[in-house]
A and B are shown apart, each in its own frame.
Chain A
Amino acid sequence: MVSPAANVVIEARNLSKVYRDFWGRQKVRALRALDLTVEKGEIFGLLGPNGSGKSTTIKILLGLLFPTGGEALIFGQEATQVSKNDRIGYLPEESYLYRFLNAFETLDFYGRLFNMPAGERRDRSKQLIETVGLSAAARRPLKEYSKGMTRRIGLAQALINDPDLILLDEPTSGLDPIGTKDMKNMIVGLKEQGKTVVLCSHLLADVQDVCDRIAILHQGELKELGRVDALLRKRDLTQIQSTQLSPEVEKEVCDLIRARGGQVLSTENPTSTLEDLFLSIVQESEAKPGKRAMPDETNRE
């Protein structure tokens, strides 16, 4: 039996951070008494508006900032311990990479930092470049990359050491819908491999799609923490979806609900998301190049 503590990957205890100026005067209280636990194998989302303390939390967890109070533990080690980084992958908000290196050189460099032998670095770099779809541009310097390509090589460097914990700061920022979908698929794939993912994002839909649990921060305080499905479920509302429903049957159903004391708030045909529409058009275009995409007419009014 695995003890609960062994399952805990990240633990923040009463974590707080105050930014001070050179003379030690308090400028900003970025984080207040944050208590947080992330368990092995889950996708955890940190949400909050700008200045809510998300990035500060991530930076403290990575040892880039030191907490003013409390404690941050990763794999049971202090966040300032260098050795914890052996099992961590980090994709920063902007892909802060050396723009004069190409994709292979970038991954080779970061592989060296994990003390990987040359052969292993070569194989792993090749595999990751294929995974993130940059094989055609692998020898071009990063300064020639688009933002989406840079995000993808950024993700590849975060995975170079096959980490157990991946911290992603705005992972879908700058990606087109296809790239976003690929990124989300990749995040889910990482979870399926048993890895723990912590991400913070402004794009709430992305978080909703992939996260198991989320924490919502505001003004440095934890406002909400729990499973996504539990937090979003509206227990006093029921949604019925059906096909082949004639207006008469629809009226009968509504009457029955009212007769039983319920209240019908609305009946309507649900719309697809623009993302779904975009993806279906691109998929059809790829399947039949040169033809104008014709989405399903039956679903159109």
Chain B
Amino acid sequence: MMLEAKKIEFHYNPKQKFDLPDIQLSQGEQLLILGKSGSGKTTILNMLGGLLKPLNGEIKIGDTSLYSLKGASLDKFRGKNIGIIFQRPHILEPLTVLENLSIANFFSGTKGDKNENLLKELGIFEKRNEKVNTLSEGEAQRLSIARALANSPKVILADEPTASLDDENATNVVKLLKEQAEKYNAVLIIVTHDQRVKDHISNQITIGG
């Protein structure tokens, strides 16, 4: 198993516990988690991404139990093994396109020799030395995907990656994510309420009723 979530529990308010499913995915598998807003989709993604410790249960990536790691070692592990894509691109504005990738390499301590290739594949290579505020919405989202892939992660997590995009860009982004995940043989989990994504990934679960 590449990614495993067992009996995880979480709640912000004891009266409203999230009903969270167990997840088991092996290398290269893809999963779509569907649910309305407030159903705990993002929460589950944060927990899988090592950003939020579940109150109970265990999450394993490869052989590592994620929350047995503490502090900086958890940060390093996340940087190296998990690529996270958010609803909005959240690119570091003062840096150029290429620097946004190298910063990911820097923080996780990897080399990043395929950054330029990544940019080429995602069609933003020509803009590599430009400031990110010159990018369009679609380009920015592609850059955030490139950044998530910069360290060749084993797990790619995407939180509503298509929410702010038009139909065409949304389809492109999902396709890109699938392609790249397959290329790196990584686990891909997309969390969304966007019905447009449904047709692309057959392995689906719905949470929150």
Q: Are A and B subunits of one complex? A: no
Seen from chain B, the residues whose Cβ lies within 8 Å of a Cβ on chain A are: none
